[in-house]
Structure 1
Amino acid sequence: MAPVNDVKIVIADDDNMTCSVLRLLLREQGFSVLGEARDGEKAVELCLLHRPDIAFLDIDMPRLSGHEAARKLSEQAPDTGIIMVSALPTLENVQKSVEAGAAGFVVKPFNAMKVMDAVGQCLQRGKDMKR
């Protein structure tokens, strides 16, 4: 696995507080947060521009849902691991996330351990896919 400070992340959520908490948590763990988006279209743009290792995508965002953004990223930036974020961990949301290409799912409000677990799984999945 790459050293933590080499792992680049983009965060997309229409809630400012969620973005702030996630950014602080990730930076505290030594990750590099390259940018933040408040809607799905901007999230895709940022990811295509910066090519992060991981994108955290809220499911319910304006202009393009997290699922739609994940599908676009899976096609256009397949090396970016996707972790979906939602306050509604329904079976349908989880299934749609997996179908859209997500490697992880984090439930709001989240705790540091669950976020780090999702990051670790996402990085491991990316490593396994490159073999």
Structure 2
Amino acid sequence: MEKLKKLSVIVVDDDNMMREMLKYILRSEDYPVIGEASNGQDAIALCAKQKPGLVLLDINMPKMDGMQVLEGIRKISPATIVLMVSAEATMNKVHEAIEKGADGFVVKPLNSASVLDKIAMCIERKGSQ
């Protein structure tokens, strides 16, 4: 199988430890992390400027929650893959995220295999559209 071109990534989470863990997981597979944000407003500004290939997005954050950010990203950068990352994985939240355009959902607590598998699935799905 040919090696997939690694998408540029922005990590958005209000928890610094979670951002560090996600960046560590991404870098272990050579994904270029081009930015990070700890709140929704910063996330949208960063996405507008950087146009990343992938955003890992928390739901519960200050200033703007992840669902609002998701809608904002869809407006400014529709091709960006958005993967929601949250402990709040109720069916309602997952359904709402998918309805608003999320490409996938990873449930906290994370393990690197599940994060990387979900990213690969989203990239594959986007590529086959």
Query: Same fold per TM (> 0.5)?
Result: yes
CA distance in 1, matches of 2:81, 2:123: 7
Deviant stretches of 4+, over 2 Å: 1-4
CA distance in 1, matches of 2:25, 2:120: 14
Tell me which residue corresponds to 1:93.
93
Task: Normalising by structure 1, report the TM-score.
Answer: 0.92
Aligned Cα RMSD in Å? 1.1
Does the CA contact (< 8 Å) of 1:103 and 1:121 recur in 2? no
Instruction: State how 1:64-79 maps to structure 2 within 5 Å.
Output: 64-79=64-79
Identity, in percent, stands at: 35
Paired residues, number: 127
1:74 deviation in Å?
Answer: 1.1
Q: Specify which structure has the higher proportion of helix.
A: 1
CA distance in 1, matches of 2:60, 2:106: 13
* Structure 1 residue runs without a partner (length 5+): none
1:70 deviation in Å?
Answer: 0.5
Tell me which residue corresponds to 2:83.
83
* Structure 2 residue runs without a partner (length 5+): none
CA distance in 2, matches of 1:37, 1:109: 19
1:50 deviation in Å?
Answer: 0.7
Tell me which residue corresponds to 1:36.
36
Tell me which residue corresponds to 1:48.
48
Tell me which residue corresponds to 1:110.
110
Tell me which residue corresponds to 2:19.
19
CA distance in 2, matches of 1:100, 1:62: 19
Tell me which residue corresponds to 1:3.
5
SS in 2 for 1:14: coil
1:3 deviation in Å?
Answer: 2.2
